[in-house]
Structure 1
Amino acid sequence: MADWTDTIPEAAQAYIQGRHLDEVECIVSDLAGVARGKAMPGPKFAKQSHFYLPNSIFLQTITGDWADIEGEAWTEPDMVLTPDFNTATAAPWTGDVTLQVIHDINDQDGNPVPISPRNVLKRVVKLYQDKGWTPVVAPEMEFFLVARNTNPALPIEPPMGRSGRRAAARQAYSMSAVDEYGPVIDDIYDFAELQGFEIDGILQEGGAGQVELNMRHGDPVKLADEIFYFKRMIREAALRHDCYATFMAKPIEDEPGSAMHIHHSVVDSKTGVNIFSNPDGSETHYFQHFIGGLQHHLPSAIALLAPYVNSYRRYVRDHAAPINLAWARDNRTTGLRVPISGPDARRVENRLAGMDCNPYLGIAASLACGYLGLIEQRSPSQEFVGDAYDSDEGIPRGVNEALDLFAENTALRDVLGEQFCTAYSAVKSLEYKAFLQVISPWEREHLLLNV
């Protein structure tokens, strides 16, 4: 036991110090970002170096169905899962002393399993590294706290605040609005501290009960791991206070949706210098090419950034969500925004990703588009001036269209890996087929007696 616990992060060591470690949760992310794996007693975990899961966990849809890959036999071979001790962190909401550990996933020959979302992101990061670059990201997480909803047929409602009223909309940046559900926020801070995660800030967003959590910039894989952990932790914090946390892109009608804005920069691996800035502080051709790559390839990557039917309900004109591929400095109506910063922190913010996307895949897709722009030396459009909601949309508006564009972009599929892309498309197509079998309340209200 002492051997492996000596290698885990300080926060995890502090959490179990002087206590009996009851349980270790051995987890990985599936395509949806759901934690899959096994829980085992702490002493048992200490005695084994790996365990197995079938590769079919990456072919399961959000509804629990299983997708088939054309031309491949359904044999469900085992994958080998090995703990990445750098990811060990507390699960402080549990009743006993529990640690979570994300595992690396290889096949039985020791090769990374290409359809694992974490491996897809590692693949993209390595492409940068092979060019002498280090990608840096800073994600923003938006989510809603909502009243408990045990009947899916009923609309989602905002949570009840400490005032006895339901959380109000259109209160962006209001401290009083955040105070309405302060106990949940307090638990999020407390859990984050115990898990060793650094929160850059929490604020009230524009929707009723909508919160934004900002994270410090850093390594893409590490931050994707943290978002993966944060989603589970935030849900647990909400449940302690008789409400839900949801990362749906659009949970409440007529309210803004929830995004996962991704800030990108790229530094020279040897010097640590931001390649987006010249020594005199001006913008480099790398900066322009990165934006050009995002503009050219993002339509094909929307299938990963907006993975569900509900995702496209977020893309509403004049509703705090970009619907275009325009870029501009300090302009939140564009899909690609260049925030105010000094030369060292020059970066590009991709505002198109929804919070419902798998963090590994959302970050991988966005970085892949920027990488292709650098390699292909893509030139961006002219900087947009004015309200970009009046511009052409330029992005797919539904799952089918998004998957068609995803299938056609051979350059993007080569970066992400063809085996992954094939599996992802199969899963998403099956999910969409299941959705089409559901008759909605809108259809019953307006079509039952009128057509």
Structure 2
Amino acid sequence: MTMSPTGALVDEAQSFLDANSNVAAVDISLADLHGIGRGKMIRRHELLDLFCNGRGMPASLFAQDIEGNDVPGAIATQSDGGGDSLCWPVAGTLGRQHNGRGLVLLQMFDRDGAPIPHDPRGAMLAQITRARYMGFQPMGALELEFYLLDAAGGPARALLGGRCMSSTNCMSVDELDEMSPFFDAVYAAATPFDLSLESLLSEYAPGQFELTLRYRDLARAADDIILTKQILRSTARRFGMRACFMPKPFAGQSGSGMHLHLSLTDPVRGMNLFADQNGATSLLMLQAIGGVRAAMADTMLVLGPTLNSWRRLGAAIYSPTSNSWGRDDRNVALRIPNGSPASRHFEHRVAGVDANPYLVAAVILGTALDGIEASNEPGPQYSTDGAPALPRSWTEAIESFGTSCTMRRILGEDLHAALAAIKRQECARLADHVSDIEWQLYADI
């Protein structure tokens, strides 16, 4: 038996098996660079071996496009000849799904127990380790906005009463009740994974909803998003619906974001270091905001990783597109919410719901720490003065990211190069595609 580099103990697996005698199989899931789960379904008797010895899978999973095809430029960043590396379970993520199978998240390591440089969870943990060396424990929570659609991608029908969900109904309590069988099932499915899904509301578009999650240590907060999206997709299928995590599925309607709330605490005393000091905003938080603003242009590919991301960012409906900050203003990119001075934090509002939560956490925390190390000024509130302009398009974001020394340092050279290669190929493929609207406009010129 080998000690798991994730800290997962075989006792967790044994307790799960003892409590779930009728579970016959377990889904083991590794989040790729897109946040898509890649893995296997193993049988019950294989679970203890996974916790004791890991499970082999190829690192080329981190060199694939969204459809699972190898990208030559990303493969070129790897030197293992396509052999298997070891995946280990992430402690605390093993639970029973409502489909009767188990589920556990994975992280990939080499045969010596070092994190594979392409694994986005490893990149996040490297920045968390950096924060701890600086005397900070990162805390956070991410919010999920998403659409519920019918199986064909059209408006879903209310589960109670059958009404077509075709009107906005922002913050409608009745709409939540009409969909309560689905959300009751989601909350129930979250319980075995220690997922605290908290506030639920109907958002600013037909069939759009938002879920907030418990505020806790940043690594687990990012794991929570991977698990929650899987639960939402799986539950929706069982109700004949589709949970859609496109950031802008419909023109003229609200986009879906994934806002990150972030603070730093004292790891010994547990005190929030972003808390107001004598009635004034924490200097540490202002420096962190200054660091995030200084590098935001370079992070935009992580925050908006797809062409569809930029349809959301180009809209005017609650989608912050300026490099700005302010207090309790939803039009800025970095918002300091009202609330208890002791729980003060900032909310990064730019990322789309399609973004990889591990990469989002890595680049936001990493640039915040840069700001603290450099004693950065945040600049004036509600203004873009003093911070670099953001890319105006997905192609500009790809190039800004690809040439960024800051992103290369925070994410690591191999992951940075692989992601840039994948996105350049994806962009070239879409640029070659002739769309239906082009036929409509230009076919008869």
TM-score (norm 1): 0.90
SS for the counterpart of 1:108 is coil
Report whether the alignment pairs 1:8 with 2:20: no
Partner secondary structure for residue 86 of structure 1 = coil
CA spacing shift, 1:243–1:20, aligned 2, 3 Å: closer
Q: Among residues 94, 116, 119, which one is paired with 1:113 in the alignment?
A: 116
* Alpha carbons of structure 1 residues 291 and 444: separation in structure 2 relative to 1, 3 Å: same
- Aligned equivalent of 1:282: 280
Change (3 A) 1:438 1:192: same
| Counterparts in 2 of 1:111 and 1:6: CA distance versus 1, 3 Å | closer
Quote how far apart the aligned CAs of 1:15 are.
Answer: 8.7
Of 301, 304, 308 in structure 2, the residue corresponding to residue 303 of structure 1 is: 301
Which residue among 398, 401, 404 is the counterpart of 2:396?
401
The aligned residue for residue 142 of structure 2 is 139
Deviation at 1:21, TM superposition (A): 3.1
Shift of 1:224: 1.2
The AA in structure 2 aligned to 1:432 is C
Q: Distance in 2 between matches of 1:355 and 1:50?
A: 30
Deviations 1:115-169 (A, max 9, x none): 10111111111110110111111111100001212xxxxxx42212244332134
Tell me the equivalent position of 1:64. Answer: 68
Q: Which moved more, 1:419-428 or 1:160-169?
A: 160-169
1:158 aligns with 2:155: yes
CA distance, structure 1, for counterparts of residue 266 and residue 97 of structure 2: 36
Alpha carbons 1:282, 1:343 under 8 Å: kept: no
Deviations 1:400-435 (A, max 9, x none): 211111123212321221111011111111111221
For 1:182-225, what per-residue CA distance to the aligned partner results, in whole angstroms no more than 9, with x for missing partners? Answer: 22112111111233211121111001100100011111111111
Q: 1:260 to 1:310 in 2, by over 3 A?
A: same
Alpha-carbon contact 1:323-1:335 (below 8 Å) kept: yes
The alpha carbon displacement at 1:14 in A equals 7.1
Q: Distance in 1 between matches of 2:307 and 2:70?
A: 18
Q: Quote the RMSD (CA, aligned, Å).
A: 2.3
Residue matched to 2:88: 82
Distance change (3 Å), C-alpha of 1:163 and 1:292: same
CA distance in 1, matches of 2:293, 2:442: 39
* Mapped contact 1:60–1:67 kept (Cα < 8 A): yes
Tell me the distance in 2 between the aligned counterparts of 1:122 and 1:259.
23
Question: Which one-letter code corresponds to 1:79 in the other structure?
Answer: S
Q: Which residue of 2 aligns with 1:152?
A: none
Contact 2:146 2:209 in 1 (8 A): yes
What is the letter of the counterpart of residue 94 of structure 2?
A
Change (3 A) 1:284 1:57: same
Asked whether the 8 Å contact 2:10–2:48 carries over to 1, the reply is no
Q: Which runs of 5+ in 2 are unaligned?
A: 1-7
Residue aligning to 1:153: none
How far did residue 13 of structure 1 move?
A: 4.7
Letter aligned with residue 85 of structure 2: M
State, as a whole percentage, how many aligned pairs show the same letter. Answer: 28
Judged with a 3 Å threshold, the aligned counterparts in structure 2 of structure 1 residues 165 and 316 are, in CA distance, closer, same or farther, namely: farther
**1:250–1:256 CA contact under 8 A, matched in 2:** yes
Name 1:187's counterpart in structure 2.
Answer: 185
Task: Find out whether 1:413 has 2:408 as its counterpart.
Answer: yes
Which AA in structure 2 matches 1:449? D
Partner residue in 2 for 1:441: 436
Is contact 2:325-2:335 (8 Å) kept?
Answer: yes
Which amino acid letter does the alignment assign opposite residue 307 of structure 2? V
What is the CA–CA distance in structure 2 between the aligned matches of 1:232 and 1:188, rounded to whole Å? Answer: 10
Change (3 A) 1:17 1:362: same
Farther off after superposition, 76-85 or 27-36: 76-85
State the match for 1:20 in structure 2: 22
TM-score, scaled to structure 2: 0.91
* Number of the residue aligned with 2:56: 52
Give the CA deviation at 1:437. 2.5
Which whole-Å CA distance do the structure 2 matches of 1:15 and 1:213 have between them? 30
Cα gap change, 1:238 to 1:393, in 2 (>3 Å): farther
SS of structure 1 residue aligned to 2:12: coil
